[in-house]
Structure formats: structure tokens, C-alpha cells
């Protein structure tokens, strides 16, 4: 198993398991829509003794508006 490390967007800084370390896109459900992240760079930790395989993913878009205020108020 590999680990996905996310940059930007709502998942910024999160580490999640990644079933296929070769995948180029990570799509996750988020409220009513989806978040789209694209892989950037090479895999790290691919050897036998250098930790888990890690892929870096960068935020591309959300299919719905990302509202940090669940009450829907704008300030």
C-alpha cells in the first residue's frame, strides 16, 4: 500500500492510503460534489527499506463551491 500526501484545497496536509500508487488523479467526495487532485512529481519511498511509498497530489478543482462556513454566511 502507498500513501497519498495532499497539497492545497480542503485536504491540504492530509495523508491517506492509496491503493494504486501509479494513479495520476485522486477524486474524493466532498459535501455535494467532488474534489479533484492531480499527482505531481515522482513516487518516493519505493525501496525496500526507505519507508512507505508516497505520492504527492495537488489540488486542481472542486465540482461544487467550497464553503468553509457550514451555516452559509459570508463575512
28-66 per-position pLDDT tens digit: 998 889 999 999 989 988 888 888 899 999 999 999 887
Read off the pTM.
0.80
3-state class of 3 per DSSP?
Answer: strand
What integer pLDDT is reported at residue 39 of this predicted model?
96
pLDDT > 60? residue 74: no
- The domains of the chain are located at 2-62
Asked whether 64 and 33 are in contact (CB, 8 A), the reply is yes
Amino acid at each position: 500500500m502507498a500513501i497519498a500526501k495532499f497539497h492545497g484545497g480542503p485536504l491540504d496536509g492530509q495523508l491517506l492510503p492509496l491503493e494504486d500508487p501509479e494513479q495520476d488523479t485522486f477524486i474524493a467526495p466532498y459535501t455535494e460534489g467532488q474534489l479533484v487532485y492531480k499527482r505531481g512529481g515522482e513516487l518516493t519511498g519505493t525501496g525496500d527499506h526507505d519507508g512507505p511509498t508516497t505520492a504527492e497530489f495537488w489540488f486542481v478543482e472542486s465540482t461544487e463551491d467550497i464553503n468553509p462556513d457550514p451555516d452559509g454566511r459570508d463575512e
